[in-house]
Amino acid sequence: MGAITLSKVEKWFGDVQVIKGVDLEIRDGEFVVFVGPSGCGKSTLLRMIGGLEDTSRGAMLIDGVDVTDHPPAKRGLTMVFQSYALYPHMSVRENMGFSLKTAGAPAAEIAEKVEAAAAVLKLEPYLDRRPKDLSGGQRQRVAIGRSIVRAPTAFLFDEPLSNLDAALRVEMRYEIAKLHQSLDTTMIYVTHDQVEAMTLADRIVVLEFGKIAQVGTPRELYETPANLFVAQFIGSPK
Ligand code: ADP
Ligand code: MG
């Protein structure tokens, strides 16, 4: 479960249209990356899918259900941001279990889900530490762990690695790819980093001024870019 359909989706901020009629079918379990230059609408489109921004026109379906007017909590998706605000006074274990606790889950169930997520993310040795005693990469893992415990239908990532240094970015990129393999959950990932896009994506969506310039596998985009904009962005030789 985790198929997402966007149908003629538009976003207007006042008189300014920033998403200009986007049609997209994301398959269950697919890893889709949104790329494009700064200001092209990547974050806005992702936030609309998550329900953090409303959709001005068009429709959005998750597993066939029209969620266009559903609030974030009813969509079953989870967002992971670059600023992974962890609670400083809570341990890793408490940070990861917090959303389940506020939802009223029993302690035993919380413990089980946190342990399982910690195993996937190799966070077991750090469960009793505070965020300040973790490295940047470990903190980002805790932020992802908070999402995993809720068993979301899909993960929405908005440039989750852009605060990390280059070496750590490469390591976390690899971790996210492994996570996708092991969870088999739909992931939508926003980045302006071509290498991240090319290595992570099943399909890449290239956005240009709020419109889709091209959708395809990394190889399709590299070998047959639809236009010069895509070619330049992907770095293909056309
Ligand atoms: P990206 O993530 O690709 O850099 P954004 O989705 O953040 O782009 O922004 C797309 C466009 O929408 C930009 O021109 C931005 O200024 C505008 N925008 C984003 N959020 C708002 C808002 N809350 N109010 C008005 N304009 C906004
Ligand atoms: Mg953005």
What pLDDT is recorded for position 83?
A: 66
> Which tens digit of pLDDT belongs to each residue from 137-166?
899 899 999 989 988 999 999 998 887 888
Residue nearest to atom 22 of ligand 1 (CA): 13
pLDDT, mean over the chain: 93
Q: How far apart are CA 231 and CA 238, in angstroms?
A: 6
Element (H, E) at 179: helix 166-183
Q: Does ipTM exceed 0.90?
A: yes
R_g of the chain computed on alpha carbons: 18
What pLDDT is recorded for position 131?
A: 94
Q: How far apart are CA 26 and CA 17, in angstroms?
A: 23
Give the closest residue to 200 by CA, choosing from 237, 227, 166, 172.
172
Category of 228 on φ-ψ map: left (φ > 0), alpha (ψ -120 to 50) or beta? alpha
Residue nearest to atom 7 of ligand 1 (CA): 43
What pLDDT is recorded for position 75?
A: 93
What pLDDT is recorded for position 8?
A: 98
Instruction: Measure 1 CA to ligand 2 centroid, in angstroms.
Output: 27
Q: Give me 46's structure tokens.
A: 């992702």
Q: How far apart are CA 99 and CA 96, in angstroms?
A: 7
Q: How far apart are CA 148 and CA 26, in angstroms?
A: 20
What pLDDT is recorded for position 163?
A: 79
> Which tens digit of pLDDT belongs to each residue from 44-66?
999 999 999 999 999 999 999 99
In which residue ranges of the chain is pLDDT below 70?
82-84, 237-238
Is the pTM higher than 0.90? The answer reads: yes
Which is it for the CA torsion 29, 117, 156, 135, positive or negative? negative
Residue nearest to atom 6 of ligand 1 (CA): 41
- Strands (E) located in 101-210: 154-158, 186-190, 203-208
Category of 122 on φ-ψ map: left (φ > 0), alpha (ψ -120 to 50) or beta? left
Atom of ligand 1 nearest to the CA of 36: 3
What pLDDT is recorded for position 56?
A: 98
Half-sphere exposure of 140 (CA within 13 A, CB side): 22
47 alpha carbon, closest ligand: 1
Give the closest residue to 113 by CA, choosing from 127, 134, 132.
127
Largest CA distance in the chain: 57
Q: How far apart are CA 236 and CA 50, in angstroms?
A: 32
Atom of ligand 1 nearest to the CA of 34: 3
